[in-house]
Amino acid sequence: MPRKAPRRTAERILEVTLELFNRFGEPNVSTTLISSELGISPGNLYYHYPAKDELINSLFEKYEKSLVDLLNASDGVRNVEDAWFFLHSLFEIIWDYRFLYRDLNDLLSKNRLLETRFQAVLRHKTRAIRTMLAAMSRAGTVDIGASELEPTANGMVVLLTYWLSFEYVRDPRHALEPANAQQALMRGAHHVLNLLAPYLVGEQRAHMLKLAGAYRAEG
């Protein structure tokens, strides 16, 4: 049986760094801890990533690519089920890079690149949610006026951005552990989707109630 080629060291460094950042929070993870966890010398780590900010920026680029690819699909959302899947998928990406959201204010205050690029991410999220609402309106599944679309979209983006912080404040010791991921993601998607409840048309209201029932059953 042919042996698998070893993963490149740079990719492995990012993988382990992401695990540590997600588990302990970026401010609590040093490059010494990362190199120790990897079983490599600090010099080897610095060869690939000369500064901790380069690790953070590289992880952000991976997060940004995954997020943008999904956000660009927002025009395909037509009904409640589509919206649920779309929002849950967004939360899955956010969960995979949850250290960014857990330590967001601290990271933005220290890293100029993140400060500017996260603003762009926020704008892209908002455009994608507006596009989703417009697509649902064209499909006749929501009835939302132009004056209500903007604040509704903004409210949904705020929840998407800060939901994990809310979860963390509620239960700092357990909220961001992998075992709790599914429940945290479902709660987030449910609350974001619930902002659409006043605008749903016809049978979409029944679908919304069905999803809410499934959410409570899982809980």
pLDDT at 185: 86
Q: Domain check: are 209 and 182 in the same one?
A: yes
Q: Domain check: are 199 and 119 in the same one?
A: yes
Question: How many separate domains does the chain show?
Answer: 2
Q: Domain check: are 77 and 40 in the same one?
A: no
pLDDT at 216: 57
CB 175 within 8 A of CB 184: yes
Task: Return d(Cα 98, Cα 114) in angstroms, integer.
Answer: 15
pLDDT, averaged across the chain: 89
What residues make up the domain containing 198? 53-218
Other C-beta atoms closer than 10 Å to the C-beta of 157 total: 20
Q: Domain check: are 101 and 193 in the same one?
A: yes
Other C-beta atoms closer than 10 Å to the C-beta of 5 total: 6
Q: Domain check: are 71 and 34 in the same one?
A: no
Q: Domain check: are 128 and 196 in the same one?
A: yes
Task: Return d(Cα 29, Cα 17) in angstroms, integer.
Answer: 8
Q: Domain check: are 38 and 130 in the same one?
A: no
Question: pLDDT tens across 35-72, in order?
Answer: 999 999 999 999 999 999 999 999 999 999 999 999 99
Reference 186, options 206, 215, 149; nearest CA is 215
Instruction: Give me the DSSP letters along 8-74.
Output: PHHHHHHHHHHHHHHHH-GGG--HHHHHHHHT--HHHHHHH-SSHHHHHHHHHHHHHHHHHHHHTTG
Residue 155, domain CATH: 1.10.357.10
> pTM of the full predicted structure?
0.88
Q: Domain check: are 95 and 192 in the same one?
A: yes
Q: Domain check: are 116 and 94 in the same one?
A: yes
pLDDT at 151: 94
Task: Return d(Cα 70, Cα 190) in angstroms, integer.
Answer: 19
Residue 11, domain CATH: 1.10.10.60
Q: Domain check: are 103 and 209 in the same one?
A: yes
Q: Domain check: are 145 and 67 in the same one?
A: yes
Q: Domain check: are 24 and 117 in the same one?
A: no
| Mean pLDDT of the region 13-35 | 95
Question: pLDDT tens across 1-10, in order?
Answer: 444 444 588 9
